[in-house]
Amino acid sequence: MNFRANLARWSTLGSVLMVIVVAGGCSFRKVAPSPSPNMRSPRPTSLPSRRAFGSHLFAIENLDMVTASAGWAVTNRGIWHTSSGGRTWRWVTPLGVTQSPVVILPQAFEAMGPQRAWLAAGDSLFFTDSGGAKWISRSLPKPPIGPLVGAQPDFLSKQQGYVVLDEGGGTSQFHYSLWWTANGGRTWTLVSSAFPQTPAGIAFRSARNGWGVPNNPLASRPELLVTHSGGRQWQQIALPLPPTLPTPFRPPQVFTGLPHWFSPTTGWTVVTYVGVAKILYWSHDGGMHWTATQPVLNNPIAMAMVTPTVGWALLRGGKVLQTRDGGNSWSSLPTPPGTQVVEFVNPDHGWLVTCPTPQGASSPPRCSLWETVDGGVHWHMLPVQSGN
| pLDDT score at 253 | 83
Cα 77–Cα 349–Cα 383 angle in degrees, nearest 5: 55
Domain range annotation of the chain: 7-305
| pLDDT score at 46 | 42
pTM beyond 0.85? no
Q: Alpha-carbon distance 214 to 200, whole Å?
A: 6
| pLDDT score at 386 | 65
| pLDDT score at 38 | 30
Concatenating the DSSP letter of every residue in 334-387 gives ---TTEEEEEESSSS-EEEEE-PPPSSTTSPP--EEEEESSTTSS-EE---EEE
Tell me which DSSP letter residue 56 carries: G
Q: What is the pLDDT along the chain (388 residues), one digit of tens a residue?
A: 443 334 444 444 444 444 333 322 232 223 322 222 232 333 344 444 444 676 667 778 889 999 999 999 998 778 999 999 999 999 999 987 876 666 787 789 999 999 999 999 888 999 999 999 999 999 999 887 755 558 899 999 999 999 999 887 766 677 889 999 999 999 999 999 886 778 888 999 999 999 998 888 778 889 999 999 999 999 999 999 887 776 555 566 888 999 999 999 999 999 998 888 899 999 999 999 999 998 998 778 899 999 999 999 999 888 999 999 999 999 999 999 889 999 999 999 999 999 887 665 566 667 899 999 999 999 999 988 766 5
Amino acid at 186: R
| CA torsion through residues 384, 322, 285, 228, sign | negative
| pLDDT score at 31 | 30
> Between 1.25.10, 2.120.10, 1.10.150, 2.40.160, what CATH number should domain 7-305 receive?
2.120.10
| pLDDT score at 125 | 94
Residue 233 and residue 211 in contact, taking contact as beta carbons nearer than 8 Å: no
For 261, phi then psi, to 5°, come to -125, 135
Q: Alpha-carbon distance 14 to 22, whole Å?
A: 12
Cα 38–Cα 39–Cα 40 angle in degrees, nearest 5: 150
Residue 36 and residue 26 in contact, taking contact as beta carbons nearer than 8 Å: yes
| pLDDT score at 362 | 64
Q: Alpha-carbon distance 2 to 117, whole Å?
A: 10
Cα distances from 135 to residues 2, 92, 129, 179, 191, in angstroms, run 19, 9, 8, 21, 26
Q: Alpha-carbon distance 200 to 18, whole Å?
A: 12
Residue 191 and residue 231 in contact, taking contact as beta carbons nearer than 8 Å: yes
R_g over Cα of the chain = 19
| pLDDT score at 367 | 85
| pLDDT score at 101 | 67
> In 3D, which of 125, 118, 172 has the Cα closest to residue 144?
125
| pLDDT score at 184 | 95
Per the DSSP assignment, residues forming a β-bridge with 71 are 65, 82
> In 3D, which of 297, 291, 380, 289 has the Cα closest to residue 336?
380
Report the side by side order of strands in the sheet with 151-155: 151-155, 161-170, 173-181, 189-192
CB neighbours (10 Å) of residue 340? 22
Longest dimension (CA), the chain: 56
| pLDDT score at 36 | 29
